[in-house]
Structure 1
Amino acid sequence: MKNRIYYFSGTGNSLQVARDIASKLEDCEIISISKSLNSELTSNYERIGFIFPVYAWGPPSIVTRFVKRLNNVNKNIYIFCAATYKNEPGAVLRYFSKVLNKEGLKLNAGFEVCMPGNHIAHYEADSQKIQKEKFEKWKSQLSEITTVLLNKNEIKSKKTSLFSRFFQTGLLYKIAVKQFCKSDKKFFSSDKCNECGICEEVCPTDNIVIKNNNPTWEHNCEQCLACLHWCPQQAIEFGKKTVGRERYQNPFVRLNDMLKKGD
């Protein structure tokens, strides 16, 4: 393979973006970060990409942990990333660039991709109309990104405000990431649960274990909410605010794509 894309995705947005970009690059494979944490990494590629969602104005902690394993990667390889977000990406590209820099690597091009949100504990799911608008906008952006990547162009990170750098992706992000792993205490399953085990299979961090016929969360959570959104019975809740709220799954991604046994 000439190109490789690593992705992390909970409800499918980042997987869709990874697939779409891969389809435009010659000889490109996509690899799940959650399935590759213990795999040997090689660097004989022309390009390496990272696709991930924005959590609290920064990258998921599993992504930054993964990057720290790239010490054997060719330092001159072309690296790009795309961060999917709902409303405000903060200074995520600037932050991710620094994560790479610490490993002696350089972010050659970074992109922010607006997608439907999924953290329905904080807001209602986007309407079908808004979802369609975002997907249409992505189609246009994909063409621009393709040109950049095929030509291996350098794209400087756009300027971000002091508020984004030091408060959103600075202070708030650092606080939030530390809390994510234990915030799964708010998850619970209702009496609609039929013990299908999909929540356990879809969790990218092996954080869910079925005990006494009920899912339990083991405090290693990334807050991707895959368990909540992919539950076919809508039996999983995150506190009281998600009760009765519409779930979201990226319409271009299937459940089997997200399962551990899926590719």
Structure 2
Amino acid sequence: MIGIYFSGTGNTRHCVEKFVKEYDPEAIVYSIEDSRLPEIIRRETEIVFGYATQYSSIPKILRDFIIHNQVLWQDKKVFILTTMRIFSGDGSGVLARLLKTYGATVTGGLHLKMPDSISDEKVLKTSLEKNRRLVTESEEKIKKAVQKLQMGKPPQEGLGPFSHLTGLLGQRLYFYNKTKRYTGRLTIDSKKCIGCGKCIKLCPLKNIVMENGNAKSGDQCTMCYRCINHCPKQAITLLGNRVYEQSRIEKYL
């Protein structure tokens, strides 16, 4: 078994690592950004795949990764793990349907509520204590899910027709185009930016460049919120106009 993930602020990475190590302490976990991953997938048959839902759907960067490597999924057994702050209905089901298109067998699904990474929307922010509790509860849920998987009865969260309908009507239908293309809405305040280059190094799509001593964003943002939550001057926003709290998994462990 191997673990695969796409993670913005570390929530999904943490959950995939916990799941895989609970199942097999010798197993290794990889980001989809790892250039070695396609060759590694070729050699494996059992995969735990994790990602954070966006509007009850798949981040654009992850969809592109699946499609670009479509020949790799034939006959793979995949357990899907999705992280979210708000109930997404069929978070795991969206990826499951795409993988099945390319010949994968989806063995189960797990939905985990984790601290919200959207740091520039005040309504989504909550207390440190509550966020830490969310992480602890997710870790306990992971242990139980692994036990069920080992018994041959893996959880099936988000995979049924009712979940599909809930996800579609809950968010995805209303925000259909949000994850179908990359966005150019990422904003960097040139007055706050100190040109440290941290966001440039962190961006999974190389969407940020340095120009005249300041970071500048292009139109290929996948909304992972990685740069926003790591900017030392809170100079970057996406959905909101100011950063209320930077959220990274390390705060809640």
Q: Secondary structure at the match of 1:31?
A: strand
**Aligned partners of 1:200, 1:221: CA distance in 2, in Å?**
12
| TM-score, length basis structure 2 | 0.87
Shift of 1:61: 1.7
Distance across 1 between alignment mates of 2:23 and 2:205: 29
Q: Distance in 2 between matches of 1:235 and 1:62?
A: 23
1:32 aligns with 2:31: yes
1:83 aligns with 2:82: yes
Unaligned 5+ runs, structure 1: 255-263
Contact kept? 1:108, 1:153, Cα under 8 Å: no
Letter in 2 for 1:43: R
Tell me if the contact between 1:58 and 1:90 (Cα under 8 Å) persists in the aligned partners.
no
CA change 1:232–1:137 in 2 (3 A) is same
Counterpart of 1:260? Answer: none
Aligned to 1:257: none
Moved more, 243-252 or 4-13: 243-252
Q: Is the 8 A contact 2:17 2:29 kept in 1?
A: yes
Residue in 2 aligned with 1:100? 99
Q: Which residue of 2 aligns with 1:258?
A: none
In the alignment, which residue of structure 2 is the partner of 1:7? 5
- Distance of aligned partners of 1:180 and 1:72 in 2 relative to their CA distance in 1, 3 Å threshold: closer
Cα shift readout 1:111-151 (whole Å, capped 9, x = no counterpart): 00000112133334221021022012112102112213334
Q: Matches of 1:51 and 1:110 in 2, distance apart? A: 10
1:17-28 correspondence to structure 2 within 5 Å: 17-26=15-24, 27-28=26-27
Q: Which amino acid aligns with 2:115?
A: P
Which residue matches 1:226? 226
Residue 47 of structure 1: aligned partner: 46
Mark the CA change 1:137 to 1:238 in structure 2 (over 3 Å): closer, same or farther: same
CA drift at 1:190: 4.4
Q: Is the CA contact (8 Å cut-off) linking 1:93 and 1:111 kept in structure 2?
A: yes
Tell me, yes or no, if the aligned pair for 2:113 and 2:134 is still in contact at 8 Å: yes
RMSD, aligned α-carbons: 2.5
Q: What is the alpha-carbon distance in structure 2 between the residues aligned to residue 191 and residue 131 of structure 1? A: 31
Assess if the C-alpha contact under 8 Å between 1:70 and 1:103 holds in 2.
yes
Structure 1 stretch displaced more, 225-234 or 114-123: 114-123
**Equivalent residue of 2:174, what SS?**
helix
1:87 is displaced (CA, Å) by 1.1
Deviation at 1:82, TM superposition (A): 0.7
Question: Secondary structure of the equivalent of 1:87?
Answer: coil
8 Å CA contact 2:2, 2:48 repeated in 1: yes
CA distance in 2, matches of 1:13, 1:242: 24
Partner of 1:118: 117
Partner AA of 2:100 in structure 1: N
Partner deviation per Cα, 1:233-258 (whole Å, 9 max, x = no partner): 2222336x34251211112699xxxx
**How many corresponding residue pairs?**
247
Q: Which amino acid in the other structure matches residue 204 of structure 1?
A: P
CA distance in 2, matches of 1:253, 1:128: 7
Separation in 2 of the partners of 1:43 and 1:253?
35
**1:60 corresponds to 2:59:** yes
Conservation of the 8 A alpha-carbon contact between 1:81 and 1:109: yes
Q: Does 1:199 align with 2:204?
A: no
1:213, 1:39 → 2: CA distance? 36
2:120–2:245: 8 Å Cα contact kept in structure 1?
A: no
Compute the displacement of 1:65 (Å): 2.0
The CA distance in 2 between the partners of 1:44 and 1:168, in whole Å, is 36
SS at match of 1:34: coil
Q: Displacement, 1:35? A: 2.9
Please tell me whether the aligned partners of residues 43 and 74 of structure 1 are also in contact (alpha carbons under 8 angstroms): no
Unaligned runs of 5+ in 2: none
Q: CA deviation at 1:22?
A: 2.3
Q: 1:205 to 1:10 in 2, by over 3 A?
A: same
* Residue matched to 1:130: 130
Q: Name the aligned partner's letter for residue 21 of structure 2.
A: S
- 1:34/1:62 contact within 8 Å kept: no
SS in 2 for 1:84: strand
Aligned mates of 2:211, 2:36 — CA distance in 1: 26
Q: 1:172 matched to which residue of 2?
A: 174
Distance 2:243 2:103 in 1: 47
